[in-house]
Structure 1
Amino acid sequence: MQITDYVNTLGLDLKQRYGEKVHKLTLHGNFSCPNRDGTLGRGGCTFCNVAAFADESQAHQSIQSQLALRAQEVSHKAKKYLAYFQAYTTTYAEIEQLSHLYKQATEANNIVGICVGTRPDCVSDEVLNLLSSYLFQGYEVWLELGLQSANDKTLKRINRGHGFNEYHQICIKARALGIKVCTHLILGLPKEDDLDYQQTLEKVIDTGTDGLKLHPLHVVRGATMEKSWRAGRLCTLSLEEYSQAAVSLIRHTPMDIVFHRISATAKADELLSPLWCEKRWPVQNRMGKLMSILGGQESAL
């Protein structure tokens, strides 16, 4: 049995709609973040070190060059692509700069859509209007919002710099314009448990979302959390703990919500804990076995 037997994945959804496999190509637009540059704070969210997942060497390469390289790497897998602005806060710039970068991406060969990863407090009406303009040009548009938790106490604890309300408002505005929203959630944040995860999921579903990304908390080098972890004040989830928690959320998620990711990895040279996050297959295999017993998303139960 495959994970798509239990989960409505983005890959499956895209293949059904486009008639062939569509691959995400990650881009680095050399953005910053208001929680790093002093606008909101310094040091970023306590869990954050972008180098743990992004290739910083791409930062000064042109969008066209990055797309060409990424497409070449996956040319044996797909011929159509989504351009994914991933690193940092990819709506955090003047609207003219955003328009220039997004236009370069959408005009590249075989691009069928654009995905932008950002914070809920960095999406202005101008940005939403710009993104919605690509819908009228026939492109697919995903706004990936880093929420992490719907618990405002947790968001303050991890120095997120915004609350659930900012997410709620932007999510409603974006979807009203036809922009698809993918919500990022982290399991294993300090002082959170299964009840917190379930309450976050319920609030996200009640608000309305089109996609979800689930992510185990990573402790990576250079993040503020590294100090707490080394001092023994922070524990991360075991593979089994994460698998059970993530499967529980998946089973309570309506089938029309697409999962862009059900777990995540970090670069081995940056990752401190949990070490099982170096590889993707052990956790996916365990989650698959659990779902074969318990069932997958709601309509598949």
Structure 2
Amino acid sequence: MGLDDFVYTLGRYCQDNFGQRVQKLTLDAKFTCPNRDGTLGKGGCTFCNVASFSHEPDTQLSIAEQLTGGKQRLRAKANKFFAYFQAYTSTYEEYALLKRRYDEALQVADLVGLCVGTRPDCVPDTVLALLADYQQQGYEVWLELGLQTANDDTLHRINRGHTFAAYQDAVTRARRFGLKVCTHLIFGFPHETIVDHQITLAKVLDAGVDGLKLHPLHVVEGSTMAKAWRAGRLTPPTLEEYVASAADIIRRTPKEIVFHRVTAYTKMPMLLAPQWCASRWIGLVGIVDNLAEYGGQGTYLTD
């Protein structure tokens, strides 16, 4: 048995809506972030080093070249694709440049739509209207909001630069434009427990959401957290802790919400800790085993 037997995954969603597998092609559009360029701060969020999730070896390639190369690598897995603007804040730029980047992506054959990763405080109505226009043209558009946690104290500690209220506002406006929202959550921050994760989920569900993406906190080279970890001031979650939280959240999530991801990994030597995050499969197998034993998505939604 696999994850699809217990969770409404993006793979199942694509089969339902496109009748076939659809893969995300990650892009580096050379955007930046207000938490790095000095607008809000410098150094970024304490956990962040974009190189840990960027798979494009040559960032000098154009959008079209990156997509074409990605299609060639994944052609054995799918014939249709999403252009996934993943690196940093993909709505944080002048409108004309954003439109040019998005347009360039959608000119590539076999794309069914866009997945646009960004921060809740960087989605003005002009950009939401642009994304909604692509949707009206027949493309599927997912706005992926990096919330990480609804706990404002934690958001401050990790130098996020916004509060949960900014997320609520972004979701309200995005849904007004008819856009699908996928929210990113990280489990394992210091001072947070499984109860905090449950509270975050409840607030996210209350605000309205169409998809979720779950990540374990892991320490990567080049991040601020790497210094704290080396000094012994930070302990990332164990495999057992993460599996318990992720599976619990999955069981509390309504069955119509799409899980784009339930864990994550980073290759060595970029990864510093925990070592189980070096594997694509360890966390996933643990979650599937837990769901098989205690029930899958929507098994229970309240205590």
TM-score, normalised with respect to structure 1: 0.98
Shift, 1:167, TM fit? 0.5
Higher deviation after alignment, 53-62 or 173-182: 53-62
More deviation, 143-152/174-183: 174-183
Q: Matched residues in 1 for 2:168 and 2:92: separation?
A: 19
AA matched with 1:209: V
1:99/1:159 CA distance change after superposition, 3 Å: same
Matched, 1:205 2:205: yes
* Residues 192 and 300 of structure 1: CA distance in aligned 2, closer, same or farther (over 3 Å): closer
1:109 corresponding residue in structure 2: 109
Counterpart Cα distance in 1 of 2:56 and 2:79: 25
CA drift of 1:2 comes to 1.4
TM-fit CA distance, 1:16: 1.5
Q: Aligned-pair distance for 1:56?
A: 5.9
**Preserved contact between residue 6 and residue 300 of structure 1 (Cα < 8 Å):** no
**Aligned to 1:248, what secondary structure does the other structure show?**
helix
TM-score normalised by L of structure 2: 0.97
- Distance in 1 between residues matched to 2:81 and 2:149, nearest whole Å: 30
The CA deviation at 1:190 is 1.6
Cα deviation for residue 57 of structure 1 reads 3.9
| 1:183 is aligned to 2:199 | no
Give how far 1:273 is off. Answer: 0.4
Letter in structure 1 aligned against 2:30? N
The answer to whether the Cα contact below 8 Å between 2:56 and 2:66 also exists between their aligned partners in 1 is: no
Find the counterpart in structure 1 of residue 12 from structure 2: 12
- Secondary structure of 2:121's counterpart equals helix
Percent identity, please.
Answer: 55
Could you report, residue by residue, the CA deviation over 1:239-263 in whole angstroms, capped at 9, with x for unpaired residues?
1111111000000000111000000
Alpha-carbon distance, 1:60 to partner: 2.1
Q: CA RMSD, aligned part only? A: 1.2
User: What is the aligned partner in structure 2 of residue 158 from structure 1?
Assistant: 158
Using the TM superposition, give the Cα deviation of residue 145 of structure 1 relative to its aligned residue in structure 2, in angstroms. Answer: 0.3
Counterparts of 2:135 and 2:28, CA distance in 1: 22
Q: What is the identity, as a one-letter code, of the residue corresponding to 2:50?
A: V
Partner of 1:34, secondary structure, is: coil
- Quote how far apart the aligned CAs of 1:58 are: 3.5
**Amino acid across the alignment from 2:122:** C
Counterpart amino acid of residue 280 in structure 1: R
Please say if residues 46 and 224 of structure 1, whose CA atoms lie closer than 8 Å, have aligned partners that are also in contact. Answer: yes
Shift of 1:189: 0.8
For the residues of structure 2 that align with 1:113 and 1:213, how far apart are their CA atoms? 18
- Describe the SS at the equivalent of 2:103: helix
Q: CA deviation at 1:29?
A: 0.2
Structure 1 gaps, min length 5: none
Distance 1:65 1:300 in 2: 45
- Partners in 1 of 2:285 and 2:45 — Cα distance? 30
